[in-house]
Amino acid sequence: MAIVVKNTNYNGEVLETILTVATTGNEIVSKGLIMVIPGVEKKISIPRLKAGRMLQKQKVNPTLEDSKGDFNYSEHSLEPKDLMAFTTFNPRAFEHIWRKWQPKGNLVFSQLPPEAQNALLEALSKQVQFELGWHYINGTYGDTDDELMDGILTQAAKDPECIVVSSEGATMLEVLKDIRASIPKAMRENPKLRIIMSVDDFDRYDDELTKREHKNSDETEMNRKRYKGITIETVSSWPDGVIVATLCSPDADGNLFAAVNLQDDESVIQIDKYSNAGELYFFKLLMKADTNIGFGEEFVVFDGRENPLFKTPEKSITANPTALVFAAAGESKEVVVTASGDYTVGAAPAGFTVAKTATGLTVTAAVNDGEAARSGSIEVTLTEAPAKKAVITLTQPKE
């Protein structure tokens, strides 16, 4: 039986209502930080389109070879998982509490008064929304009742394009400085940009601001939830030590998404007798839900936990092959470049040209009709770590 009566002092009909414990609900939805897509029964895709660099020098008669840039289409999927809440109760559990809430009718057909049913429904609905809010953020999908869906942080950790911030800062101000420096410049002025953190982390930030003399609020006031003009959002289910900067909106112009069967599934609860011969009643709720992010490169995250889910990727760049030998008559060869980020290509030696491709480089050697063989090298440098380089050697005999 789901109703547990503890420490009851019968006081006649003094109490007019049943009090329910306050919970925070599904804050990431109620604060408008995520777009909830209703009516998704099986699966839906988040279409993503990115364009490469397009501008180049003007040419009088451009040819197919002059084409530059491309359109990259990809998808992230939302595949709602089936969830339910199910609990039973016996209306007679209230018989000895107070007269106002005693079940009405004959014992065989005993029912709880509507006001008491509404109180139980309110408590159930609050708890479901609170738990759902936790799963929207931290959930993982598995075989147990605690693994209902992959939450935002779980999905983002799978995306290699997420910007993982490494910070040695000992204070929240130092960490936030590093996070802001990692936010792509195109996002910094976007009005949808938010910094999301836990309540405890914001309290640390608030305390640090308060301790700065003559600059911020005193101990009787709370400092504004902003950093360098970026609004800070606190979510009670958000884990301590994880701070995310991303675009947030209840519409498609944000970066956080959830798919559900119906928008109000968590409020639609069935109440009925568990069996015709028994006294128990049940509450039952069914719903589907899943979450995901749109673009990893718009998800900037710092994970300062002891066992971080987000790990700073190792900065590296490699080229294959690293040595090219060209025919004296001239030819082109491809080099595959694998890098942890953007990279720059150094100048090619005399007699050679180099061009970037979708997978790396195309190196072209002109006809060598000179008196000696040609040789040289091309350096490919990781933009975010100039010390990381790959060197490609080039040789070409004379004709």
- Can you spell out the DSSP letters for 296-307? GGGEEEEE-SSS
**Would you state the pLDDT for residue 216?**
66
**Cα–Cα distance measured from residue 179 to residue 184, given in angstroms and rounded to the nearest whole number:** 10
Q: CA 104, 107, 109, 115 torsion: positive or negative?
A: positive
**Cα–Cα distance measured from residue 399 to residue 394, given in angstroms and rounded to the nearest whole number:** 16
**Would you state the pLDDT for residue 215?**
65
Closest CA to 151 of 138, 166, 161: 138
**Would you state the pLDDT for residue 48?**
57
**Cα–Cα distance measured from residue 124 to residue 118, given in angstroms and rounded to the nearest whole number:** 10
**Would you state the pLDDT for residue 272?**
80
Q: Read off φ and ψ for residue 93, nearest 5 degrees.
A: -60, -20
**Would you state the pLDDT for residue 8?**
45
Closest CA to 179 of 115, 243, 258, 272: 243
Residue with tokens 């005999």: 397
Written as tens digits, the pLDDT of the chain (399 aa) is: 455 544 444 444 444 454 545 556 788 888 889 888 888 877 777 665 556 666 677 777 777 777 776 666 556 778 888 888 888 877 777 666 656 666 666 544 456 667 777 777 777 778 888 888 899 999 898 888 888 889 999 999 988 889 999 888 889 999 999 999 999 998 998 999 999 999 999 999 999 888 876 666 667 677 888 999 999 999 988 999 999 999 999 888 888 988 887 656 666 777 788 888 887 878 888 888 889 898 888 899 999 998 999 987 778 899 999 999 999 899 999 999 998 888 999 999 989 999 999 889 999 999 988 888 999 999 999 887 888 899 999 999 987
**Would you state the pLDDT for residue 179?**
94
